A and B are shown apart, each in its own frame.
Chain A
Amino acid sequence: MGILEVRDVNKNFGGLKALHNVNLDVQEGSVHAIIGPNGAGKSTLLNCFIGRLTPDTGSVMFNGSTLLGLKPHEINQAGVVRVFQTPEIFSELSLLENVMIPAFAKRDGAFKLNAFSDVARHGEIREKAMHMLEEVGLANDRDKTSSSMSRGDKRRLELAMCLVQDPVLLLLDEPTAGMSRADTNATIDLLKKIGGRGVTKIVIEHDMHVVFSLADRISVLAQGTVIVEDIPSKIKGNEKVQEAYLGGAHL
């Protein structure tokens, strides 16, 4: 029994079969990578988990209850948190405020009208956010706005915004795309560190270096179907994978 169970999920866009009978079992505490060529349906699948898209048929169960039909904020409140591929940041707010907002959402729920209390009175939220900024190495810039940040820094802020919520299931959509090699390695280390906290992770990634250094299990998606699911060492040598995904080249 996995923490996330996906059963026979189908999603069509007009005549295009984006997802075709997708099944997925993600074990609690594991890192599950989803790889596949462009257009294989990886992002579509992820969007079905967070309420951005609704599958035509099939079920998505998280911790024994369905995610389908829930609003995005309800899915987040349940503990499923997505790290966006292009960093989506509150650009007019300071870095610290950017991390405090998800922390507030985690503590206070989807809506709380604490209209007349001073932000400074929520010390524990501030500390939690500061701690998270330190962990991703952005603590010195806490009062800056994100407008002058590098892309790599934005992605680290994005990660901090998601991690501060103590997610149960973290969905990472290409967490290292556009990063330098050094930043990529730093991100891998960071993600491994969170792994120690028992957070389940689903990673979509093109960078095989990242996939093979993080993943416990890998599902290979091609043309909307899972063609193989196995442990990394077996994926490397799998002929079907090399055929569909790598065009026959050897890893």
Chain B
Amino acid sequence: MLSLFTKSSEKSDLLLLALFAVVVFAMPIWLAPFGAAYPDLMQRFAIYGIFATGFNILFGLTGYLSFGHAAFLGVGSYTAVWTFKLLGMNPIPAIIAAIIVAGLFALLIGFISLRRSGIYFSILTLAFAQMCYNLAYSVLTPITNGETGLRVLRDDLRLFDAPTVGDGGPLLSHIGGIEMTGMPGFYFAAVLLVIMVGLAMRIFRSPFGMMLKAVKTNQTRLNYTGVNTRPYTLAAFVISGMYAGLAGALLCVIDPLAGAERMQWTASGEVVLMTILGGVGTIIGPILGAALIKYFENIFSAFNDQTLNDIFSFLPDQLQEGFVSVTSLFVGEGWNLSLGILFVIIVVFLPGGVTEGLNRIGRFGLRRLGIGHKSKNEDETSPAPGE
């Protein structure tokens, strides 16, 4: 069963995708015991899953570590809101426009950044992303509405669904009257997540994907093999930029507001964490990573001193105070500290991320059940440690 994750054919890919779709669509059911089955959080699982999946096409396959992918997320968001403002609240044109504009942005930034590799590439992408962020805050205020953030207003053009006089409802995107908030919003994002994961699977299994993996191991050799690597890396960069643009647009579909903080370097760093935490170069890893981070963000940041006092109330007063003051560092505002520790633990003990952990457990389980003849391919296809 778990070997499906590593050894794949076209047929097993489809099966896996179907399985994945079922798991995603059933999230409201199986996430309930974890206290995560509310739409707002599940929407973010799906959207950041798309973001990380796209990022993984670049980082996981080619090894090029972009530190500025949040720029494309932000560009996608702004484009989506502008489409809402100009054309109307239907999310479909907004998504298409966001993917195209983010793709063009990626083409420009990638064209320049990919002239360098390694750390220089990372720094270049970081620089471009910070430029975008600062421009959005300052010079481009007419387009981005600066600090306030860009939102859809009552008197916007909205060519195709201009508000009727006295239309007092909230400004939400909708398809055929179904507003893209709450559960419909989640299912909209979930459908797109499944489609985008399906596309990523195809890329992983295509000659194009094979070339990208070869870029990661030995780009110079690939040149001497008669392959022009630049168009390949640029295509990977643009594709992953488009994924980010889609994710950015979806953030605005469920909540039509775009702010510059979405392009901050912390947001770029977050997607790197998601991918590494989940498992670089695997299909499912980045999605798991995205879900884990969003889940922990949600759970830990909700804790406050009161809840901690309740938890440790069984202890004597002195101890309770001590425990609360120590643990409070790791929750609420300080949840990033917990995330950092989790990240360190994963990278040190499971360099292949959560996916590697699951594979290990799976193999162990199979062996225990006695059906586990150790598949000879499993070891080799598990992601390489510490890229």
Using a CB–CB cutoff of 8 Å, the interface residues on chain A facing chain B are 50, 71-73, 76-77, 81-82, 84, 88-94, 97, 100-102, 104-106, 108-120, 122, 125, 143-145, 147, 161, 165
Chain A residues within an 8 Å CB radius of B322: none
Do A76 and B207 touch across chains, with their CB atoms under 8 A apart?
Answer: no
| Bound-state Cα–Cα, A100 to B226, Å | 13
Cα separation A73 to B227 with both chains bound (whole Å): 5
A73 and B202: CB pair below 8 A? no
Contact partners of A84 in chain B: CB under 8 A: 221, 224
Assess whether B210 is in contact with A97, with CB atoms less than 8 Å apart: yes
B208 touches A93 (CB 8 A): no
Known A111-B231, A144-B380; judge A72-B210 contact (CB<8 A): no
Interface size (B, Cβ < 8 Å)? 35
Residue-by-residue, is B196-218 near A (CB-CB < 8 Å gives 1, otherwise 0)? 00010011011111110110111
- For the complex, would chain B's binding face be called helix, strand, loop or mixed by DSSP majority? helix
Known contacts A71-B223, A90-B214, A110-B227; is-contact A116 B10 (Cβ 8 Å): no
> How long is the Cα–Cα vector from A81 to B227 in the complex, in angstroms?
12
- B285 CB to closest chain A CB, in angstroms? 16
CB of B306 within 8 A of chain A? no
Q: Name B residues whose Cβ lies closer than 8 Å to a Cβ of A.
A: 9-10, 199, 202-203, 205-211, 213-214, 216-218, 220-229, 231-232, 235, 239, 376-377, 380, 384
| B224:A76 contact, CB within 8 angstroms | yes
CA gap between A90 and B156 in the complex, in Å: 55
Contacts of A125 on B, CB cut-off 8 Å?
Answer: 207
Roughly how many angstroms separate A86 CA and B277 CA in the complex, as a whole number?
35
Q: Are B206 and A90 in contact (CB under 8 A)?
A: no
A/B interface sample: 25 pairs, CB < 8 A: A82-B224, A88-B218, A90-B217, A90-B221, A91-B217, A93-B213, A93-B214, A94-B380, A97-B213, A100-B207, A101-B214, A102-B225, A110-B227, A111-B231, A112-B207, A114-B207, A114-B208, A115-B206, A115-B239, A116-B203, A117-B207, A118-B205, A119-B206, A119-B207, A119-B210
- Whether B213 contacts A102 by the Cβ 8 Å rule is no
Q: Out of A105, A115, A147, which one reaches B226, CB within 8 Å? A: A105
Chain A residues near B205 (CB-CB < 8 A): 118-120
* Residues A90 and B226 in contact in the complex (CB < 8 Å), given A114-B208, A118-B202, A119-B206: no
Q: CA–CA, A116 to B334, complex, Å?
A: 43
Contacts A71-B228, A120-B10, A145-B380; is A104 near B207 (CB within 8 Å)? yes
Total inter-chain residue pairs, C-beta < 8 Å: 114
Q: Is the CB of A101 within 8 A of B224?
A: no
Query: In the complex, are the beta carbons of A72 and B232 less than 8 A apart?
Result: no
Point out the residues of chain A lying under 8 angstroms from B216, CB to CB: 92
Tell whether, in the assembled complex, residue B226 and residue A77 are in contact, meaning their CB atoms are under 8 Å apart: yes
Would B10 and A76 count as touching, CB distance under 8 A? no
Known: A93-B217, A101-B214. A115 touches B223 (CB 8 A): no
Which 4 residue pairs across A and B have the least CB separation, nearest first? A76-B226, A110-B228, A105-B226, A88-B221
* B228→A73 contact, CB < 8 A: yes
**Contact of B225 with A101 in the complex, beta carbons under 8 Å:** yes
| Shortest Cβ distance from B224 into A: residue | A72
Count chain A CB atoms within 10 A of each CB in B211, B218, B227, B376 and give the residue with the most: B227
Among A73, A76, A125, the one with the most B-chain Cβ atoms within 10 Å of its Cβ is A73
A106, A110, A115, A122: the one contacting B202 at CB < 8 Å is A115
Q: Is the CB of A101 within 8 A of B210?
A: yes
* Extra pairs beyond A118-B206, A119-B206 (19, CB < 8 Å): A71-B223, A71-B228, A73-B228, A76-B225, A88-B218, A90-B214, A93-B213, A97-B213, A101-B222, A102-B226, A109-B226, A111-B232, A115-B202, A116-B202, A119-B209, A120-B10, A143-B377, A144-B380, A145-B380
A-chain residues with CB within 8 Å of residue B199 when the two chains form the complex: 116
**Nearest neighbor of B239 in chain A, beta-carbon distance:** A115
